[in-house]
C-alpha cells in the first residue's frame, strides 16, 4: 500500500502521521487516502486507452458520499444494488446516465425511482423481474433500457460467499434462459435491449476466469445477432482482486488487455462497462485500533483491541485475512504471537489469528486493506457506535463521516405507551 508507508519509524497516511490522526479523532477509525483512490481509478481508465468504456464503481464496496463525489469528479459511473445507493450517488453529484442497477430483488418502488432518474441500464436477473420492469415502465409511460445478467457457470476460484457466476448462485440467469429472455424482452413495448451483463465473483486473482466468462458472453452476443437482437454494450462486471496477504492479482493493464484481446478475437466491437469496487478502494484505506489489554492463558496470547467484528466484519464473515501492523515501527516489547481480538461478545470477534507483534497496552495498530467492505458493512451490535471515516488529502485530514454517539443509537426507538 504505497500511500500508507513508514517514515522515521512511524506509519503515515500520505503525509500525515497516523498517530496524529488517532490522537485527534480517536479509535477505532477508518482512514482513506484520496491519492490512492484516484490512482486506482485512473489505472483502469488509462488501461483502456481510446477504446470506448465506462468505469462503473461498485457502490457497495464503500458508499461514503465523499468517496462517491471524488469518483464522480473523475468522470466515473456507478454500479448500484438499491435505491439507497442511487440516492447516495445523486447526493454525491453522480450522473444517473452512467448508472447500472444490479441486484436480484429490485422492488417496484426502487424500479420507479431508477426510471424516473433515467439510469443508464437496469440489469435484469430473472424473467419475473423482466415482467416487472415492463409493467413499471408502462405505468410511467417510459422505455426502460435493460441488460440481462447472464450466468456463464465459470468458477472464479474465490471464496464461495463471493462467487456469483456459477449455476448454484442466486445471481443472473443461465445462458439458455437468457437467450429466451432476450427474445421476450425484444417484444416488450416499454423495454429497450441495451446490453448484456456478467459478473462472476469478487477478489479474483487470475485473468483466466474473466476471459473464459467473456468468451461465453461474446458467443451469446453473436447468437443474439443471428435472431436480430443487437447488443449495444458489454457490461463485464467487476471482481479484480487486490493483495491482502501475498496474492498476485493481474495489473489493471493485464486485466483490460485480456478483455480487449477476447473482444477482438470474437470480432465484437462494442463499448465496455466494468464494475470495480474493491480494486479501487480496498487498499486505499486502513482501520486504526488501539490495544486495550494483553491477556495470556496456557495456550494463547491475546491482544485485545477497541475495534471489533461490528466495525470490520470480513474476518468473521469470510475468514478474510487483513494484515495488522504497528503504527510505531519500533517497540521495546518482545515479539510474541497474538490473536488480535475485539470487545464484541462473540468468539468470532477475531481480527487476526497468530500475528507476530511487539505490542503493549495503549499501542496503536493499523488493520490494512480495509477500504472495501469495511465501514460499509459495519453495524451497531453490542450497542457500539460506528467509527468515523476520515479522508487524508496530502497533509490534510477531512472528516467524511463523524463518529456516532451513544445517544444516536436509540433515536429511532421508542418505549411502549
Which long-range CB contacts under 8 A does 412-416 form with residues at least 24 apart? none
276 labelled ligand-binding: yes
Place of cell 464496496: 61
**318 among annotated binding-site residues:** yes
Which residues lie closer than 8 Å to 144 by C-beta, 6 or more apart? Answer: 115, 122, 133, 134, 136, 137, 190, 191, 192
The span from the CA of 200 to the CA of 165, in Å, is 4
Active-site position among 56, 198, 345, 368:
345
Q: Answer whether the bond into residue 182 is a cis peptide, omega within 30°.
A: no
Q: According to the annotation, is 129 in a ligand binding site?
A: no
Neighbouring CB atoms inside 10 A of 417's CB total 3
Query: Residue 58: helix, strand or coil by DSSP?
Result: strand
Asked if residue 403 belongs to a known ligand binding site, the reply is no
How many of the other CB atoms lie within 10 Å of CB of 103? Answer: 19
Buried b (16+ CB within 10 A) or exposed e, 318-349: bebbbbbbbbbeeeeeeeeebbbbbbbeeeeb
**Buried residues in 201-222 as b, exposed as e (16+ CB within 10 A):** bbbbbbbebbbbbbebbbebbe
368 flagged as catalytic:
no
277 is in an annotated binding site: yes
182 appears as a binding residue in the annotation: no
The string of DSSP codes covering 282-319 is GGGEEEEEEEEEEEE-SS-EEEEES--TTT--HHHHH-
The reply, when asked if residue 384 is annotated as ligand binding, is: no
Establish whether 346 is an annotated binding residue.
Answer: yes
Q: Cβ-count burial of 76 within 10 angstroms (0-12 exposed, 13-18 middle, 19+ buried)?
A: buried
Residue found under cell 478474510: 320
Residue 195 annotated as part of some ligand binding site: no
Please state the residue numbers annotated as binding site for pyridoxal 5'-phosphate.
239, 275-278, 373
Please state the residue numbers annotated as binding site for substrate.
278, 314, 318, 346, 373
Task: Provide the annotated active-site residues.
Answer: 345
Please state the residue numbers annotated as binding site.
239, 275-278, 314, 318, 346, 373
Amino acid at each position: 500500500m504505497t500511500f500508507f508507508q513508514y517514515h522515521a519509524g512511524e506509519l503515515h497516511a500520505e503525509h500525515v502521521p497516523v498517530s496524529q490522526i488517532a490522537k485527534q479523532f480517536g479509535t477505532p477509525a477508518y482512514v482513506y487516502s484520496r491519492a490512492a483512490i484516484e490512482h486506482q481509478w485512473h489505472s483502469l481508465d488509462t488501461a483502456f486507452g481510446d477504446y470506448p468504456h465506462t468505469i462503473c464503481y461498485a457502490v457497495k464496496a464503500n458508499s461514503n458520499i465523499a468517496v462517491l463525489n471524488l469518483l464522480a469528479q473523475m468522470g466515473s459511473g456507478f454500479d448500484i444494488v438499491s435505491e439507497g445507493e442511487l440516492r447516495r450517488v445523486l447526493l454525491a453529484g453522480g450522473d444517473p446516465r452512467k448508472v447500472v442497477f444490479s441486484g436480484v430483488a429490485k422492488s417496484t418502488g426502487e424500479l420507479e425511482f431508477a426510471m424516473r432518474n433515467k439510469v443508464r441500464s437496469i440489469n435484469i436477473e430473472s424473467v419475473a423481474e423482466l415482467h416487472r420492469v415492463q409493467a413499471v415502465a408502462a405505468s410511467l409511460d417510459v422505455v426502460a433500457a435493460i441488460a440481462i445478467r447472464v450466468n456463464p457457470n465459470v468458477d472464479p476460484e474465490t471464496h464461495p460467499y463471493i462467487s456469483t457466476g456459477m449455476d448454484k448462485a442466486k445471481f443472473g440467469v443461465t445462458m439458455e434462459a437468457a437467450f429466451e429472455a432476450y427474445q421476450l424482452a425484444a417484444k416488450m413495448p416499454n423495454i429497450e435491449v441495451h446490453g448484456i451483463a456478467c459478473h462472476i465473483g469478487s477478489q479474483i486473482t487470475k485473468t483466466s476466469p474473466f476471459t473464459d466468462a467473456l468468451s461465453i458472453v461474446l458467443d451469446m452476443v453473436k447468437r443474439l445477432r443471428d435472431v436480430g437482437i443487437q447488443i449495444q454494450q458489454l457490461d463485464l462486471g467487476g471482481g479484480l482482486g487486490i493483495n491482502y496477504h501475498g496474492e498476485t492479482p493481474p495489473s489493471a493493464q493485464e486485466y483490460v488487455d485480456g478483455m480487449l484481446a477476447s473482444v477482438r478475437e470474437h470480432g465484437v466491437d462494442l463499448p465496455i462497462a466494468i464494475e470495480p469496487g474493491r480494486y479501487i478502494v480496498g487498499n486505499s484505506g486502513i482501520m486504526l485500533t488501539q490495544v486495550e489489554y494483553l491477556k495470556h492463558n496456557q495456550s494463547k496470547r491475546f491482544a485485545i483491541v477497541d475495534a471489533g467484528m461490528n466495525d470490520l466484519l470480513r474476518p468473521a464473515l469470510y475468514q478474510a485475512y487483513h494484515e495488522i501492523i504497528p503504527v510505531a515501527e519500533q517497540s521495546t516489547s518482545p515479539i510474541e504471537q497474538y490473536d488480535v481480538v475485539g470487545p464484541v461478545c462473540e468468539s468470532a470477534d477475531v481480527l487476526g489469528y497468530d500475528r507476530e507483534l511487539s505490542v503493549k497496552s495503549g499501542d496503536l495498530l493499523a488493520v490494512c486493506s480495509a477500504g472495501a467492505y469495511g465501514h460499509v458493512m459495519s453495524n451497531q451490535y453490542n450497542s457500539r457506535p460506528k467509527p468515523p471515516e476520515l479522508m487524508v488529502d496530502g497533509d490534510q485530514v477531512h472528516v467524511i463521516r463523524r463518529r456516532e454517539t451513544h445517544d444516536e443509537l436509540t433515536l429511532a426507538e421508542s418505549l411502549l405507551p
